[in-house]
Amino acid sequence: MNHLDKAIGDIGSIRMQVARSTEFRGYGPATLAATSFFAVAAGAGQSVWLPAPAAHVPAYLAIWISTAAVSASLIGVQMRARTHRVHSGLASEMIRMAVEQFLPSAVVGLLLTFIVARYDPAAVWMLPGLWQLIYSLGVFSSCRFLPRPMLAAGGWYLATGLACIALAGPRSLSPWAMAIPYGVGQLLVAGVLFFNSPEAQGEE
């Protein structure tokens, strides 16, 4: 029985090694492009219904946290279905690897949002920039199993995050301080995935 357990463990290790050396194709370009639309729609909604976000921080946070939750849910559902179709036998390992790369950034973003909103409301203006910086770290972390041009998307979020913090004060809570970075950034991610897919390159 010990030999059987060891063999099963070895097979699992081999599968994970193969997964780590395989480019992940579970993210769908169309789904990522849709999340760009969600960001722009959220920005437009904020500009209409929340013209003074600094005076209504809970509502501001609700808009962008709910947008992020909807986008993440859509990506997660589509990623699971696409990964099982594209990676077949390695689907579980590939999904686990993708989650492991991005989950720390997501958790840090949630905890940071709670701490700032709960204990230092005056610093809420920094959150848009911090969210983008944290997202850039998630993108950079995932780049090792995604197409190399994805580094450009990570660089975009890094630059926009720093720019938002440089704005300082209530201006950083402008709807376009989130809508433009994520609207353009998610389209950039979708474009990288599309133009580096086997289909776009004429591969089988």
CA–CA gap between residue 126 and residue 105 (Å, rounded): 17
One-letter amino acid of 46? Q
Local confidence pLDDT in tens for the 204 residues of the chain: 565 455 445 445 544 554 555 678 889 999 999 999 999 999 999 999 999 999 999 999 999 999 999 999 999 999 999 988 887 777 777 888 888 889 999 999 999 999 999 999 999 999 999 999 999 999 999 988 899 999 999 999 999 999 999 987 778 899 999 999 999 999 999 999 999 876 545 443
For residues 124 and 116, the answer to whether their CB atoms sit within 8 Å is yes
Nearest to 149 by CA among 19, 47, 20, 29: 29
